[in-house]
Structure 1
């Protein structure tokens, strides 16, 4: 199984994706909770103000609470990495490849000779699954493709071998 996946076609830069290093990437998302969580509020200032206000109110009522030690946080993150199911947004990689102005769609190549064609705008919203229960996707990987909001979360596109921008 090839673990290097190309993005090619009508792009300024042909790039390759290596899912083996994404476990260390801060952009990764937990696929067990990603499709269930409410999406981020667009008004980040309002969200920040509410969180600061809530924290301030708690400190006035209860006094200051100190965070757990760094040692327990590191242990928790290590455990999460070893047992988690993760994906990563495709948009940053697509943006780095810089699709040409006349590009309209992306072809996801998977399996032996299968293809899925989606509009370029929709392609920027897909999530690339790269690990399940702390292990790389060896049998039906190296990548799984999930559409935005998870309509195919039970049956993602598996055995992805490449992306072609057309």
Structure 2
């Protein structure tokens, strides 16, 4: 197959969406957590990229539109939270305290555990934002010198399998 085609934005975007659609159909049919469509797409795209010799930076640039859509989904979650505003009135302090405590416990626990296993600063920086959305985690990790690919995988795994 033509190398230019395999490195094109259209091919990489189509492969990603196509693999996700295939994974969704398979998951709906079998309902096995390890066959989650995002996990299948993730693993399959690693294979496709390695097979085609496409670097991750090239892939990331090609599927930037999906990253943009992911950012929009964060806004959609914010809107759903806004719709619950009436239910949250009068409970601001408990909500803020619980959110702050959960954030601090989540960050410190993963950093301390990784540190106990001898992880370096770059790995610790990459693991710290495990409990937020991918766009926010990547935006935080990138300027701090973390590994954005590792952060994306960790956030993804937490989202699918629960807390790590």
TM-score by length of 1: 0.23
- Give the number of the structure whose residues are more often strand, by fraction: 1
Scaled by the length of structure 2, the TM-score of the pair is 0.24
Q: Which has the larger radius of gyration?
A: 1
